[in-house]
Structures are given as structure tokens and as C-alpha cells.
Amino acid sequence: MSRANWTSRVGLAAMATVMAMAVVASAQMPADQLPPEMDGVGIIQKLDERVPMDLAFVNSKGEPVQLRDLVRKDRPVILTLNYYRCPMLCSLTLNGMVDGLREMEWSAGDQFDIITVSINPNEGPELAAQNKRGYMQSYDRDTAEAGWHFLVGDQAEIETLADTVGFGYRFDEKTGEYAHTSSIIFLTPEGRVSKYMNDVRFNPRDMRFALVEASEGGIGSPMDTMLLFNCFQWDPTTGSYVADAWKIMRLGGVLIIIILAVGILILSAKGPRGRNPESGVGTTPPVGWQQGQPVRGEA
């Protein structure tokens, strides 16, 4: 690669990152400080809201599907709203998600599923298929083909889904592009919103915890569940799971009580070794002692 091309790519990546950060930050700004083109753009968290299972879309094979066909009862879902011709932010979001997923042992199509829906009603299944091929190569997991669904749909279905999960976006007629934020949304196996991660980079540990939480302990090891519910809590200001000192101390106290209880049970099970009938104090009889006879050496 020539120096000029390398410099151009670095500059484009830097500009994309800055713009992505600006879009994400705009979701936190008061409405009266937003530029007109960002009006209505952002994330309104609607935790525990259930997405309509009868929403109809078309998958990357051109087949009609409903969300109930894709949201399974035994695993959580990562939902992303993007569009396939997006020049910048959508790629950053999906690439960042894939980077995090590649560092996890779990795979889409096995422990969880992914649903990516285009917010552009003019995009068809051919574009969905083209994007899917690219991300299948990038993600490189055998089960992802069946577990990561790329969908297109009409305006009404897209808007209903976006409104349900609080994903605000806006079409800019001047540029012909969509203004939107960067977010991945975690759904329970029943299709309820469990968690939002509003960023373009995603920590693998946080994604794992979010999936465990969305599954309500249905996936992951007992250690995952113990750490999540007894040592960590979600910090919405940082958008990550952080250690909770109170939970850790409480867990430590419980463990101490358990250890003491086990110790007492073990000692109780052993019982007394002997007992002095006169004093009532447990003793070990001297060697050679027989009832009614003095111990050797006594007068």
C-alpha cells in the first residue's frame, strides 16, 4: 500500500470515528442543543418492552419471515438497526460488534442469535445478502450462517420495530442518507429489551454478561451467573459492567457464614472422644484403666 493510500485510509478512519462519537454523544444532549438534522435521532431506552413478534420482514434469501421465526425461546438475541448502504457509522458499529464477538467463546447461532434490520425500506434482499457474505467472512464462525439474520422490510414494519426499542433515526433529504446513532440492543428469549450498548466498540466481557443477563441465566456457566449477579452491576454512565463493592462484600459475608457452618457440622459429626462420668468433662481414659481398679502408680 502506498503512503498516500495509507494516509487517506487513516484520515478516513479518524473522521469516521469522530463522527460516530458525535452521533453517540448527541443522544445525551438536550433537544434544544441538537442541530435540526439530528432532531428525533438517538436512543430512548425502553427496557422490558417486548418487540411485536408478528412484524414481517424479508431475509437475505428473499424469504418472508416474522420475528417470531427468529427469536427462539432458548437463547437471547442481539438486535441491530442499520442500513446496508450506510457510508460510515453502520460499518463501525457492526465491525466493532464483530471484533468483540470474535474474542468470545460463544457463537451466534449457538448460544445466541443476531438480527440486523435495515432502516432503509428501499434496500432489498440482494443488499442484505451482500452484507451478510462480508460479515460471515469477517466473523468466521460455522454457526453464524444460521444464527445471524440480515433483514429488509417496508417502512411501517421498520418504524414499528424502531419505535418499540426506542431507536430514533431521520432521513436527510439533502444528503440522501440516514442520521442515526450507534447501538446494539440485547433481547431476552421472549423478545423483551434487556440492555443497550451505545458505542462503536464493545467489550467482550460486557457482551458476555449482557447475554447472560438477557437469558436470565439460561446460558453461561454457574460462575458467569455468580459473578454477574453477585459481583458486578451495569453502569449506564460508562456503558459497561463494573465491580460492585457492596455486592462483593455481601458475597464474602455469605461465604464466611457457609465456611463456619460447614466447620461446625464437621466438628459435631466427630463427637466427643471420651467422657469423665464424675465431672461430665470429656476425657481420654488412661492406658490400662479398668472400672474399679486403680491406675498403675497410684497408692
Q: pLDDT tens across 14-47, in order?
A: 444 444 444 444 444 454 565 666 678 999 999 9
Q: What is the CATH number of the domain that holds 178?
A: 3.40.30.10
Cell of 92: 463501525
Range of the domain at 14: 3-220
Cα distance between residue 118 and residue 130, in whole Å: 13
Whether residue 291 is contained in a domain is answered as: no
> What is the greatest pairwise CA distance in the chain?
117
Count of domains for the chain:
1
Neighbouring residues of 131: CB distance < 8 A, sequence distance ≥ 6: 60, 84, 116, 150
Whether residue 135 is contained in a domain is answered as: yes
Percent with pLDDT over 90 in the chain:
56
Question: Using CB atoms within 10 A of its CB, is residue 153 exposed (0-12), middle (13-18) or buried (19+)?
Answer: buried
Instruction: Find out whether 79 and 183 touch, Cβ atoms under 8 Å.
Output: no
If one compares 170 and 287, the residue with the highest pLDDT of the two is 170
Q: How confident is the model at residue 264 (pLDDT cuts 50, 70, 90)?
A: confident
Q: What is the pLDDT of residue 106?
A: 95
Cα distance between residue 172 and residue 164, in whole Å: 22
What end-to-end distance do the CA atoms of the chain give, in Å? 106
Q: What is the pLDDT of residues 63-85, one digit of tens each?
A: 999 999 999 889 999 999 999 99
Q: What is the pLDDT of residue 126?
A: 98
Whether residue 278 is contained in a domain is answered as: no
Whether residue 36 is contained in a domain is answered as: yes
Instruction: Find out whether 194 and 234 touch, Cβ atoms under 8 Å.
Output: no
Whether residue 34 is contained in a domain is answered as: yes
Q: What is the pLDDT of residue 15?
A: 43
If one compares 117 and 295, the residue with the highest pLDDT of the two is 117
- Would the pLDDT of 108 be above 80? yes
Whether residue 67 is contained in a domain is answered as: yes
Q: How confident is the model at residue 53 (pLDDT cuts 50, 70, 90)?
A: very high
Whether residue 250 is contained in a domain is answered as: no
Q: What is the pLDDT of residues 200-257, one digit of tens each?
A: 999 999 999 999 999 986 665 565 555 555 566 657 766 676 665 444 455 455 556 6
pTM of the model: 0.70
Whether residue 261 is contained in a domain is answered as: no
